[in-house]
Amino acid sequence: MGLAKMTTSNLSPAEITRYARQMAVPEWGREAQERVKSAQVLIAGAGGVAATAALHLLAGGLGALRLVDGSRVGLSDLYHHLFFRERDLGKAKATVSEPYLKEVNPFALVETKAKTISKFNISRLTAGCHLIIDAMHNSLAGFLLNQAAVKLRLPMVQAWGWEMHGCLTTYWPGQGPCLACAYPQLSLGSPPALMGPLPGILGSLQALEALRILGGLGPALLGRQLTFRGDRFQMLEKSIKLNPQCHVCRHLKG
């Protein structure tokens, strides 16, 4: 299901009051808010980046969110993840996250899945979604998510962090490059060391980009990869081009 097929749904009076200041932003408005309410997003990951993106999307009026992550809370999550406590060690991240996400917005539908993304469940996980947020920093999951994005022509906003830095970009098969245009090969590695506030920075930017796309403003980061350098507080940028020979998306016409 592409964005063009999204239907608008009416905001309730309570939602109109809740989002009045956001709807007063000149580039935004009520129509954008209605579109966001009618949208469903898949968030891949339940780590710090994913949790931040999820909170802002739900608080900002997203209609439906599906969050998937098969991993469990470990000690190394506690210093940067604002949901997790010591009592949660060993529990599924998605399950622990669910009550926090559900209480953010009573108008939203929230589903969490404590599952590892695989070729067997990727179709079910992406069904009905209008946008994918990849916040897993997992090359294999990214590969599967990208295949689904190509099949369904969905925008995918991806972010990952390491040390003091973070990268952010938007792929949109049919509109611009896909993940495999930029990274044709899988590169598997262990989770990097990173500073605690970085997931919040990256997740917030992902949510802003997702709201822009869902609200009809269009992507800001299609074909662009931003790198936040936390050692210098600089934003660097490089372009990501559609690869006409891409082994995943070359059959699509832009």
**Shortest approach of Zn ion to residue 85 CB, angstroms?**
41
User: Is 171 in a helix, a strand, or coil?
Assistant: strand
144 binds Zn ion (CB under 5 A): no
Closer residue to Zn ion (CB): 101 or 181: 181
249 binds Zn ion, rule: CB under 5 A: yes
Q: In sequence order, which residues have a C-beta less than 8 Å from that of residue 20 and are 6 or more positions away?
A: none
The CB density around residue 56, as the number of other CB atoms within 10 Å, is 20
* CB 152, min distance to Zn ion, A: 14
* Site of tokens 């998937």: 68
The span from the first CA to the last CA of the chain, in angstroms, equals: 17
Footprint (CB under 5 A) of Zn ion, residues 2-31: none
Q: How many residues bind Zn ion (CB under 5 A)?
A: 6
**How many helices, marked H, and strands, marked E, lie in the chain?**
9, 8
Question: Judged by CB under 5 A, does residue 114 bind Zn ion?
Answer: no
Interface with Zn ion includes 246 (CB under 5 A)? Answer: yes
Interactions with Zn ion, residue window 158-187 (CB under 5 A)? 178, 180-181
Smallest distance from Zn ion to CB 173, Å? 7
Count Cα neighbours of 141 within 13 Å in the Cβ-side half-sphere: 23
- State the residues that interact with Zn ion by CB under 5 A: 178, 180-181, 246, 248-249
